[in-house]
Structure 1
Amino acid sequence: MDVDRDTVVEIVVSVGAVGLFVAVLVGIGTAYNQDGLSTTGGVAFVGAITAFVILMSLVGVGLAYYLDQG
């Protein structure tokens, strides 16, 4: 199976961003868990999801720019 460099870059960057998102969610879950997710934790959770959507948008634009240069 022959995978070109651009595909490997896309995979590594995407997996890294998703890994960061999962780590943030685990951190929120452990920091704001008192018999369930607290109200502050819920706000942090929504903020993390919003930040993830923005991050993935920026990653997509960045990858499109980077891969277009090559």
Structure 2
Amino acid sequence: MYMQRDTAVEAGITLFAVAVFVAVVVLGGEVSTAGLTESGAYAVVAAIVAFILVMAGAGYYLSTKQD
């Protein structure tokens, strides 16, 4: 079963955005024995905001592509 090129590009963009989000949360979330540190919490919040902006940008790009 073959996939069209446009579908593969859309899936690739989405998977890349999710992978970046997961990497930032995992690597940016500084966890100590007492729990999440202040800088780690800021990193998690920044990752969530960045994820929302990247997904909105990707959605806009994909919606304006001409078929």
TM-score range for the pair, normalised by the shorter chain length: 0.7 to 0.9
Q: Distance in 2 between matches of 1:47 and 1:28?
A: 9
User: What is aligned with 2:17?
Assistant: 17
Q: TM-score, normalised by structure 2?
A: 0.83
Q: Which structure has the highest helix share of the two?
A: 1
1:13-50 CA distances to partner (integer Å, 9 max, x unpaired)? 11111111111111112xx2221211221122111101
Q: Residue 25 of structure 2 contacts residue 43 of structure 2 at CA under 8 Å; is this kept in 1?
A: no
Gaps of 5+ in 1: none
Superposition CA RMSD, Å: 1.4
Gaps of 5+ in 2: none
* Runs of 4+ with >4 A deviation: none
Q: Which structure has the highest strand share of the two?
A: 2
Q: Which one scores higher on RCO, CA 8 angstroms, separation ≥ 6?
A: 1
